[in-house]
Amino acid sequence: MAGVGGQGVVTASHVLSNGVILSGGESTVVPFFGSEKRMAPVESYVRIANGKLYEIGEIIYPNVIVIFHSQVITHGKSYTMPFYSGIKDDSYIFINMPKTAELSRDEERELKEKRAKVFYLPATAIALQHAGTEVATNMAMIGAVSAVLGLPDLASLEKALTERFLGKGIVASGGTASLDKAMEKNFGPKVDLVKKNLAVIKAAAQYATEHGWVSAVTKGGTEQCTK
């Protein structure tokens, strides 16, 4: 999962991963960031498996890429070009953009050769519409991932989200902790934050369903992702 500082990439990855754990799977998260500041490249690596996970560190050959900001396409994934570097065959790419990105001819060709399915999700617009803040963009991204791949299922994702805000869920960084406080001040108590975030997740899931993305996943698609 790649984006820029301030978008909640790390938080989203923890919620997604925890959702998988809650649904009975195995999952680990490895967040990477340099200087903790807005707009600096951020990425977080989520591994999901049925059995025990041994591998650690960043994922160099991913099955799924989730892009939170178009800057990842132009600047590369933490400056690694192209943004889909290392992607495996029959992979999935989720991109937060209102319309299709203009990719170079080489990029188009390579993605086609890799049989990558690319989904463009207007995540920021969905966040603004359903939560009144673009800070919830991250929730839209994992909502779409959940709908398309079923990793995790929506109910488990909901549970993970509640844990993050109301339980002992992990807080990505000191900056995130202060953001939580500011959000509470501006948007009301944490219970309301959960509701709004959940509305965003559901709206993104609905968007994915309405656009036929869910059926676009071939049979055994999720098994492929856990290999």
Partner 1 sequence: MANTVNQRVVTPEHLLFEAPRTKAFITGSEAASEAVRRANVDIAIAYPITPQSETMERIGNLFAEGYIRDYYRAEDEVGAFSAISGASRTGVRCMTASSGPGLMRGLETIASWPGHRLPLVFLIMCRVINAPLSIQPDNLELDYMLTSGNILLHGENQQDFFDYTLAGFAISEKCEVTLPVAVAVDGFFVTHARAWVEMPSAELKLPPRDCYSEAVPMIDNENPPVRIARDAPIQKSNFISYQMHAAWQQEIHAAHERSRKWVSRYINGLVEVVNPEAETLIVASGSAVSQSREALRQAEEMGKKVGLIKVKSLRPFPTAELRAACRHAKRIIVPEFNCPGWLNREVRATLYGHSEAKIADGPRVYGGITMPTELILEWLFKSE
CB of 29 to partner 1, least distance (A): 6
Contact flag: residue 32 with partner 1 (CB under 8 A): yes
3-state secondary structure of 33: strand
Binding positions for partner 1, 40-59, rule CB under 8 A: 53-58
Q: Which of residues 111-130 bind partner 1 (CB under 8 A)?
A: none
Q: Which two tokens stand for residue 13?
A: 């990855």
- Residue 67: exposure state from Cβ atoms within 10 A (0-12, 13-18, ≥19): buried
Amino acid letter, 125? A
We find the least distance from the C-beta atom of residue 30 to partner 1, in angstroms, to be 5
* Residue closer to partner 1, measured from CB, 56 or 216: 56
Closest CA to 121 of 208, 62, 42: 208
CB of 43 to partner 1, least distance (A): 12
Q: Which two tokens stand for residue 41?
A: 């490249």
Distance CA 195, CA 190 (A): 9
Is 17 one of the binding residues for partner 1 (CB under 8 A)? yes
Q: Residues 2, 4, 29, 135: which binds partner 1 (CB under 8 A)?
A: 29
Cβ proximity to partner 1, 17 vs 96, nearer residue: 17
The DSSP call for residue 77 is B
Helices (H), 23-136: 71-75, 105-113, 123-131
Query: Out of 24, 61, 104, 223, which residue is the one contacting partner 1 (CB under 8 A)?
Result: 61
Q: Where does this chain bind partner 1 (CB under 8 A)?
A: 14, 17-18, 21, 28-32, 34, 53-58, 60-61, 170
